């Protein structure tokens, strides 16, 4: 039980750090007037990726070189999903309470014939964050997983 709590503590800590970095980056873009340009949201993937990588690396350091793929994957995915959830909440609060023109500015390219509103925008932000977290966690776990091409792994598979 203590192992599960430590795994979750690592994931939660990194999830909070990723969310804080995403929020700070968004606020910095807002100060510069660049927060309505979607090209800058590409850097969100870099921030999320760095946080997930560090989360899995920290988990590996805690567990040692031999750790289960599923546990490392869970650590990365929890941190990414938590960060996405927190950032989406912040984004919704910001878009509805702090900058009333933000929704209009960001959605003006979308509102051709569609009935797009804040709910659709939040859905897109959340979906992008969850997809980024899933793909990056899968990619990073390829770096951290144990190789099955060793003599010991072949012995373990044979038994």
pTM: 0.79
User: Tell me: the pLDDT tens digits for 20-52?
Assistant: 999 999 999 989 988 877 778 889 999 999 999
For residue 53, which of 67, 33, 73, 71 has the smallest C-alpha distance? 73
pLDDT digits (tens, 9 = 90+) for 75-112: 889 999 999 999 999 998 988 888 877 777 776 765 55
Number of alpha carbons in the 13 Å side-chain half-sphere of residue 79: 34
């Amino acid at each position: 039980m203590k192992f599960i709590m430590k795994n979750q503590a690592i994931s939660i800590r990194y999830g909070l750090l990723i969310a804080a970095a995403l929020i700070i980056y968004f606020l910095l873009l807002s100060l510069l007037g660049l927060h309505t340009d979607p090209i800058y949201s590409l850097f969100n993937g870099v921030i999320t990726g760095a946080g997930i990588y560090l989360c899995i690396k920290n988990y590996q350091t805690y567990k040692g070189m031999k750790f289960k793929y599923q546990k490392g994957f869970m650590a990365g995915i929890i941190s990414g999903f938590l960060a996405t959830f927190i950032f989406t909440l912040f984004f919704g609060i910001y878009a509805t309470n702090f900058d009333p023109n933000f929704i209009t500015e960001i959605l003006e390219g979308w509102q051709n014939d569609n009935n797009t509103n804040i709910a659709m925008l939040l859905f897109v932000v959340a979906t992008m964050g969850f997809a980024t977290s899933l793909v990056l966690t899968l990619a990073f776990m390829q770096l951290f997983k144990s190789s099955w091409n060793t003599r010991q792994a072949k012995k373990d598979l044979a038994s």
